[in-house]
Amino acid sequence: MDRVISAWLTLLLGFLQLAKLSANVEGDALNALKSNLADPNNVLQSWDPTLVNPCMWLHVTCNSENSVTRVDLGNANLSGTLVTQLGVLSNLQYLELYSNNITGTIPDELGNLNNLVSLDLYLNNLNGGIPDKLGNLAKLRFLRLNNNTLTGTIPVTLTNIGSLQVLDLSNNNLTGDIPVNGSFSLFTPISFANNPRLKALPVTPPPPVSPNLFGPKLTF
Amino acid sequence: MLLMSGRDVCLGVVFLLLLSCRFGCGVESDISCLKSIKASLEDPLDMLSSSWDFNNNTEGFICNFLGIECWHPHESKVLNIKLADLGLKGQFPRGVQNCTTLTGLDLSSNNLSGSVPDDVDNLIHFITSLDLSSNNFSGEIPKNISNCTFLNVLKLDNNKFSGQIPPQLGQLSRIKTFSLTNNQLSGPIPVFTSNDTIGPDSFANNPGLCGPPYLESCKASPRKSMGLVRVIESNGVVMMIAAGLVLVLLFLSLISFFSNIFGPIELVL
């Protein structure tokens, strides 16, 4: 009987440790981000990695299971780079890092954020390409990467994101063609403006209007 | 060819937009756009008056207006205008032209009237979704709507649009939702070159519409083809000719009858 009880206790403790660990995984990821950022305004001052989870940190929002759903650090005078660890925030819905001075590239691992609804990295100094893996973000509604120095082509994988409503890739240094299929049917030259090396959307020549066999002959 | 110059005009418009505003004059023009819309529409239910307050102009303040969606929070660049079901009256608000980065306009279920401007393509060039349904719009559908090449959704149903549907509408290659039901349109349905989402439901309840693939072939309108054959086919004319022949025959038989009685008759004409 004692052995059974102690076995159950061990299991319970192990489970609690695991729970603590998983919450810490997210806290560790955000702490890695903090370590990579310069923060002259001290907006990350509350980010204490010794806490059991990051849910009490300012600018971090969690769900009822203490898993991070929002990171709101827009317009915070931050500089430095993003980190691959951001990809472990599996319940993250809003990643708001716009209007800072962040440099470096967009990590491929952001493509693992299956629940991401809004990815706002606009108005920074990001370089490199737009990762193809962002096409995996099946719930993404807002993708705003405008006003950076991104290069390379626009991944065709993005056209598979059926939920995409707002796309802004303007003011970068992208090259190649602009996709028009899939979700990109919704996007106009506004979304791609000021990419000097991007091939402009072709103005499709109107097909010749065939003679109207079914009614009065129309003349122009 | 007029079609070629139409394309050049379109390119010219885009080029001018490039030069002038680089796909968006941004903040100032969008604020004046909304001011103009508010001024031109009657708002009897006071739906706009409380939230469309232009006095407190902090950065991106219009993004909190009722029915306004911006490209980015805290920047006054209008993405969509959604003013459905607000009891609004008046005509199509031309001031929308100054919302240079507008992609969606929903004015459905109001009391708007008058016609859609002929130069609508200059007013909302980048529009992807245009919903004017359930209003009192009248007049013809302007053919220049076909220059709004980015249209995915075009809803004009439940209005009083009349005349023919511009055949150029068939050139809209991105159209996914298209509705003209419940209007007073007539003539042939346009041929849509590139999609399979348009069906008979798009055109229902327009008594004068005709043409394949969903409706009977259009009969040639008598106004347009006045061939002699058609005139003669008209029953009235046939009756008149028949009556005339009968009269002539009657006259000749009378003459022959009287000549039998009175001798040869000279007809002095």
> Which residues on B lie below 8 Å from A190 (Cβ)?
23-24, 101, 103, 126
Would you say how long chain B is, in residues? Answer: 269
Query: In chain A, which residue's Cα lies nearest the Cα of B10?
Result: A203
**Inter-chain residue contact A216 with B221, CB threshold 8 Å:** yes
ipTM reported for the complex surpasses 0.90: no
State residue B191's pLDDT score. Answer: 86
Q: How many CB atoms lie within 10 A of CB B258?
A: 11
pLDDT digits (tens, 9 = 90+) for A164-177: 999 999 999 999 99
Q: How many CB atoms lie within 10 A of CB A96?
A: 21
Contact B6, A205 (CB under 8 A): no
What confidence category does residue B22 fall into, taking pLDDT thresholds of 50, 70 and 90?
very low
A216 shares contact with chain B (CB less than 8 Å): yes
Q: How far is CA B189 from the centre of its chain?
A: 12
**Inter-chain residue contact B126 with A190, CB threshold 8 Å:** yes
Interface of B with A in 38-67 (CB under 8 A): none
For chain A, the C-alpha Rg in angstroms (whole number) is 23
Question: Percentage of chain A surpassing pLDDT 90?
Answer: 80
CA distance B123 to chain A (A): 15
Grouping H, G, I as helix, E, B as strand and the rest as coil, residue B225 is coil
pLDDT digits (tens, 9 = 90+) for A57-93: 999 999 999 999 999 999 999 999 999 999 999 999 9
How far apart, in Å, do the first and last CA atoms of chain B sit?
Answer: 60
Residue A207 pLDDT > 50, yes or no? no
Average pLDDT over residues B169-197: 89
State residue B116's pLDDT score. Answer: 98
CA separation, residue B89 to residues A81, B93, B154, B204 (Å): 52, 10, 21, 26
Average pLDDT over residues A154-166: 98
Q: B185: which strand partners? A: B163
How far apart (Å, rounded) are the C-alpha atoms in residues A73 and A102? 11
**Inter-chain residue contact A207 with B193, CB threshold 8 Å:** yes
What confidence category does residue B23 fall into, taking pLDDT thresholds of 50, 70 and 90?
low
Mean pLDDT of all residues belonging to chain A: 90
CA distance A49 to chain B (A): 31
Residue A15 pLDDT > 70, yes or no? no
Contacts across the A-B interface (CB distance below 8 Å): 82
How far apart (Å, rounded) are the C-alpha atoms in residues B132 and B104? 11
Average pLDDT over residues A3-32: 78
> Which residues on A lie below 8 Å from B9 (Cβ)?
none
State residue A9's pLDDT score. Answer: 81
- Side chain identity, residue A150: L
Residue B219 pLDDT > 70, yes or no? yes
A219 shares contact with chain B (CB less than 8 Å): no
> Which residues on B lie below 8 Å from A189 (Cβ)?
14, 23, 126
Could you tell me which of A164, A62, A181, A184 has the C-alpha nearest to residue A119?
A164
- Decide the pairing of beta strands A68-72 and A60-62: antiparallel
pLDDT digits (tens, 9 = 90+) for A115-154: 999 999 999 999 999 999 999 999 999 999 999 999 999 9
**Inter-chain residue contact B224 with A186, CB threshold 8 Å:** no
| Residues contacting B242, CB < 8 A, separation 6+ | none
State residue B263's pLDDT score. Answer: 63
| Residues contacting A207, CB < 8 A, separation 6+ | B171, B193
Q: What are phi and psi of A22, to 5 degrees?
A: -65, -40
State residue B242's pLDDT score. Answer: 73
A210 shares contact with chain B (CB less than 8 Å): yes
What confidence category does residue A212 fall into, taking pLDDT thresholds of 50, 70 and 90?
very low
CA distance A111 to chain B (A): 22
Top-confidence residue, B227 or A67: A67
Residue B253 pLDDT > 60, yes or no? yes
pLDDT digits (tens, 9 = 90+) for B96-108: 999 999 999 999 9
Strand residue runs (E) in chain B: 68-72, 75-82, 89-90, 104-106, 111-114, 129-131, 136-139, 153-155, 160-164, 177-179, 184-188, 208-210
Residue B11 pLDDT > 90, yes or no? no
Cis peptide bond prior to B167, omega within 30° of 0: no
Q: Specify the range with the lowest mean pLDDT, choosing from A164-168, A190-194, B13-17.
A: B13-17
B231 shares contact with chain A (CB less than 8 Å): no
Interface of A with B in 103-122 (CB under 8 A): 120, 122
State residue A20's pLDDT score. Answer: 53
